Structure 1
């Protein structure tokens, strides 16, 4: 149905080059013996569709806006890490509130702990805010698509949303959060000189600080949107710095040292205190 010199024939002869580029070559006389005639047929080249199709770019910002905390929670698992923590942790579970961007991080030894950690998160939200998340969004990984978790969320009245397979952009909030946490933790380990096995402390500290730092997504800090008040940074110290802790008199003799040297590795989330590391024993002391 096509002529030997029509646009479709030339498109095939030139290995499916963009028809507009071929027309431009003829118009500018960039090659000899190139004459294109219009056969009058209009249609899509199926070969080009199959061989060249790409996804449409994803919008940088979501068009749907949440109105208050716990309207939507993004979650993802990052790992396994190449180095285990002293507590044998290899995975990071993040839970990000869409409205405030406030993030809760859990360190896990196995992916199978996801159900337990999400249950713990939901119960904590009920205690703090007297309500549960409305929607939890994740990818379709096995740790999220299981009967135990589905049954728990159904009983709590929480809607489950899964992203489309092989489209990680739909869970972009959680993916970006994991990247930011690891980048910040990597810098903290490099600056402090601590071994990579302390990545868990670095990630937890990075998350603690990110919750108290400005984010362009909301124009304020996640902490303020989550708790309704501005965060204080008076207690912030440099990760990996030397810290001295007082030894109670009940734990020492007359001539024993009255202070012990530790390494500062973070903040206690559920208590007023610091996480201090004894590198000789890998034990954490809360003071």
Structure 2
């Protein structure tokens, strides 16, 4: 007004705090929020998760995830990968697949890494990754992984039986072969140019990078954040339904024999 004062409306017309909070909550597209939190997950898998997410959050009717910038930028079309063809498994650690990705164009923010090595348990589809500065660090990662998982499943009598990889020097080194022999592990090497033998790990690598790049682009972060986005992607993929597991099970549940807790998840790069 003329006195540079702003009149405050009658307090009787101000909604109570619970009403305001409720109004704000219902304006949020929970489907889009959890799409972002779960690494730009597809709608079908997201519906499965939201139906049983601790009974905590409900999907707003008819609200679906919109095609977002993260998905557009992170899930670029790529060449077809051959279907995986291999023997079925009956227990965890029966067959472990591994491969190395990199070098990336820039050092990652974590320890200036340029590579990462992936380990996939075929039976549960559970994935573990280690960041590497150089390929020569791969043997330590292989040894660490095998001893860790053998210890984890010791009481169940499971241990790594077959270790499948390409013929890269990191896997065929004397140290690595000695480790396999010591632990009674059969090293199955991929026949060169027979991509269907390695389809399972190739598909995993693509899935990891699709998720990692989607969340990185969605957060508008520079390329050197690839290490953070890759590690986050693997964490999320282990907790999302997998189409090779029964009853919409996640690799985490198949591996740990319990459902993953998800309510702590936030969108990569922010607090939402």
Distance 1:143 1:75, change over 3 A: same
CA shift, 1:62, in A, is 3.2
- 2:114 corresponds in structure 1 to 90
Q: Unaligned stretches of 5+ in structure 2?
A: 1-80
Structure 1 residues without counterparts, runs of 5 or longer:
1-57, 244-287
Other-structure match for 1:187 = 214
Match of 1:257 in 2: none
| Shift in CA distance, 177/128, structure 1 to aligned 2, threshold 3 Å | same
CA distance in 1, matches of 2:209, 2:84: 23
Deviation of residue 61 (structure 1)? 4.8
Give SS of 2:187's match: strand
Per the alignment, residue 239 of structure 1 pairs with 268
Q: Do residues 151 (structure 1) and 186 (structure 2) align?
A: no
From 141, 148, 154, give the equivalent of 2:168.
Answer: 141
**Residue 160 of structure 1 corresponds to which residue in structure 2?**
187
Question: What is the TM-score when the length of structure 1 is the normalising length?
Answer: 0.62
Determine helix, strand or coil for the equivalent of 1:143. helix
Q: Quote how far apart the aligned CAs of 1:168 are.
A: 2.7
* Match of residue 228 from structure 2: 201
| Correspondence list, 1:1-287, <5 A | 60-62=83-85, 64-86=87-109, 87-130=111-154, 131-219=158-246, 220-242=249-271
Match of 2:25 in 1: none
Aligned pair in 2 of structure 1 residues 61, 110: CA closer, same or farther (>3 Å)? closer
Deviations 1:72-123 (A, max 9, x none): 0000011100011132101110000000000000110111111110100011
The size of the alignment, in residue pairs, is: 187
Residues 86-95 or 100-109, more deviating: 86-95
What is the DSSP-based 3-state SS (H/G/I as helix, E as strand, rest coil) of the residue aligned with 1:94? Answer: strand
| Structure with more of its chain in strand, by fraction | 1
Report the secondary structure of 1:80's partner residue: coil
Instruction: Report if the CA contact (8 A) 1:139-1:168 is conserved.
Output: no
- Between 1 and 2, higher relative CO (CA 8 Å, sep ≥ 6) is seen in 2
Q: Relative to total residues, which structure has the larger helix share, 1 or 2?
A: 2
For 2:171 and 2:84, locate their aligned partners in 1 and report how far apart those are by CA, in whole Å. 25
Alignment TM-score, normalising by the size of structure 2: 0.66
Q: Distance in 2 between matches of 1:76 and 1:147?
A: 18
The Cα shift of 1:154 comes to 0.5
Helix, strand or coil: the match of 2:202?
Answer: helix
SS in 2 for 1:144: helix
- For residues 192 and 223 of structure 2, the distance between their equivalents in structure 1, rounded to whole angstroms, comes to 33
How many angstroms does 1:188 deviate by?
Answer: 0.8
Q: Which runs of 4+ in 1 moved over 4 A?
A: none
Deviation per residue, 1:156-182 (Å, 9 max, x gap) = 111100010122321111111111111
Distance 1:112 1:241, change over 3 A: same
Backbone CA RMSD of aligned residues: 1.8
